[in-house]
Structure 1
Amino acid sequence: SVIGDGPLRRELSGRISEGDLRDEVILEGWRDDLDEVYRRTDVLLLPSEEESFPQVALDALSYGIPVVATRVGGVPELVEHGSEGLLIETRTPSAYADAIVKLAEDRDLYATMSAHARHKAALFTMERMIAEYETLYRTLLSESHAPA
């Protein structure tokens, strides 16, 4: 399933039809019930050309879903290759397919990545981020008041 909508939908729909993939690839469009979507997802493919902070990848990790993506933007900071997912070198269908097959065939690897995914997501909770900012601000304030 492809979740979301955008300017490439018409082109993607055409390619799905041309490849006679209508039974394999479903364009679901915009969904508000992402909890349900994540619960039935095995792998998140993130085919972004650019990505500052991949929030959708963080959301997937919190459900224990390994991520397959390229090394763009902030993706490598969140997803370590071989730990929480697989980072591919090229944005080609065959590279994504190879990564999916690897995860499907190696259930031990999948289970390990799933556990690592949940652990990594726990590092980015709102509570933890607030606590880290408070610590940073306190440190900066104490340093600014220190005698020269």
Structure 2
Amino acid sequence: MDIQLVEALCGFQKPISTLDNRTIVITSHPDQIVKHRDIKCVLNEGMPIYHRPYEKGHLIIEFKVNFPENGFLSPDKLSLLEKHLPERKEVEERDEMDQVELVDFDPNQERLRHYNGEAYEDDEHHPRDSVQCQTS
């Protein structure tokens, strides 16, 4: 089930249609944070139990938390939001550490890189010349 970040943090109510044409409303209270890929269940609202058609199992729900797009908050509002969240852990930088940046990963670009042989740029260990047949 897809939910927004605000719903994951602050609670929500969502209607669900059941197999017997009823609508049930699931509720997550503000003190119950739902994490991405959490699996929860609703008792007695799942599939009928084998040989006991009037008894139902659990309705199992996996949650997908949708995060907002980059830049959805101005820097001052982001700073205000940060004050209400648990503190982030600061890293004590040392001389032997290098600073690097995260960038978005494109699996298509990575496949192309491997296809073109860029993964083995070191010709000393992986020469690009193919083996030739001996001619007499």
The normalised TM-score by structure 2 is 0.23
Greater per-residue helix proportion: 1
The normalised TM-score by structure 1 is 0.22
